[in-house]
Amino acid sequence: MNNTIRSAVALLGGLCASTAMAQSNVAMYGIIDSGLVYTTNANALGDAITKMPSLSSSFPSRIGFKGIEDLGGGLQAVFVLENGFGVDTGATGQGGRLFGRQANVGLKGSLGSITVGRQHNMSYLATMKADVLGPNLFAIGSIDPYLPNARSDNALGYLGVFSGVSVGATYSFGRDGSAAGGPAATACAGEVPGNAKACRQVTAMLAYDSKGFGVSASYDVMHGNVGAAGGMSSSDNTDKRSTLNAYVMVGPTKIGAGIVERKLRASTGALDSDLYYLGFNYRFDAFVLDAQVAHRDTKASASDVTMLAARLTYNLSKRTAVYAAVGQMKNKGTSAVALDAGGTVGAGKTQNGMMGGLRHTF
């Protein structure tokens, strides 16, 4: 009896030790980034405005939690919970979601990772390295707000990296459950009985990266449904984007370029456009200089738009930086694309702007 008890205790102790060794390694991280922005021609009267931005500054503010648990045999359990917020008011971003930037769990091994939940899709990942300004307040996200907000609700995702080649895809059963409005909330929850196309979204990416250059291509198709924003009021409506992106390193300078082809077939009509961008990133001492030019050619329309933007960042430390940016958005025809993401501009007007701010990461 005593031997049996001792054996049971030893077994229980071993299980407890194994459980303790397998506990998740959880990290908290974040960015707090804000400043002031001044833009001209913020309305039809040509008035200027000075404000504190909410959607983004040099980077969108966020707080997140991520964890890894080693399951043995090279397999890991992973999760990410990431909240976006506006420093100007403290309000939750991404359509009022608590974890609107990311909320997913998955498994990761030698053959790649599989994730379930709200996550970045392949349109987001494909442009990350070539778009030197990224989610800056003055950037290509002002022209196409979907690009820095390319995430999918109710999604299954796969991403594998093999000798520099990245292969990824996502499949969403309902791409966007929030009805709060804006590029990050389009009221298309999907998962409708008898209509598998309702709010479905599929994205795919193929990329190659080396030390000196990289290239990526992606495809993204979204379906609509009743009540969805952007004229996507039927599951037969589609919004398709195909991207081709590349970058090359020339000493300390990165040169990045790409094209985003969009084909929208909405209840309100068809719209085709090509968005081209070219930029560079140059690092010297504690400074980083980024500059970019972008042009959207709207087919069968005079409402094209051209953007010029530049940003200078000075790193006070590894975690804290100050920055200044200038930009111009030239609207033609009836185009009314604001230089600052989420801002306003009079139709057909050229908008100039400047911005300064402070960023801290933790």
Task: Write the single-letter amino acid at 39.
Answer: T
Does residue 177 lie within any of the structural domains?
yes
> Does 125 reside within a domain?
yes
Three-class DSSP category at 250 = strand
Where in the sequence is the domain holding 245, given as residue range(s)?
28-361
pLDDT at site 119: 98
* Residue 314 to residue 320: CA distance in whole angstroms: 9
CATH number at residue 295: 2.40.160.10
Judge contact between 38 and 340, C-beta under 8 A: no
- What is the pLDDT at residue 4? 42
Q: How confident is the model at residue 22 (pLDDT cuts 50, 70, 90)?
A: low
Average pLDDT, the chain: 93
Q: Which of 2, 12, 39 is nearest to 328 (CA)?
A: 39
pLDDT band at 24 (very low <50, low <70, confident <90, very high): confident
The yes-or-no verdict on residue 19 having pLDDT over 50 is no
Is 3 part of any domain?
A: no
Q: What is the pTM of this model?
A: 0.90
Structural domain includes residue 23: no
User: What is the total count of domains within the chain?
Assistant: 1
Helices (H) then strands (E): counts for the chain:
3, 17
- Does any domain span residue 272? yes
Residue 21 lies inside a defined structural domain of this protein: no
Q: How confident is the model at residue 206 (pLDDT cuts 50, 70, 90)?
A: very high
Token pair 């009985």 is at which residue?
193
Q: 71-108: buried (b, 16+ CB within 10 Å) or exposed (e) per residue?
A: eeeeebebbbbbbbbbbeeeebbbbebebbbbbbebeb
Residue 36, Cα to own-chain centre: how many angstroms? Answer: 22
- Give the pLDDT score at 17: 39
Task: Please indicate, yes or no, if residue 5 is contained in any of the structural domains.
Answer: no
Length of the chain: 362
Exposure string (b/e) for 349-362, b if CB count within 10 Å is 16 or more? bbbbbbbbbbbeee
Residue 128 has pLDDT above 50, yes or no: yes
Does 16 fall in a domain?
no
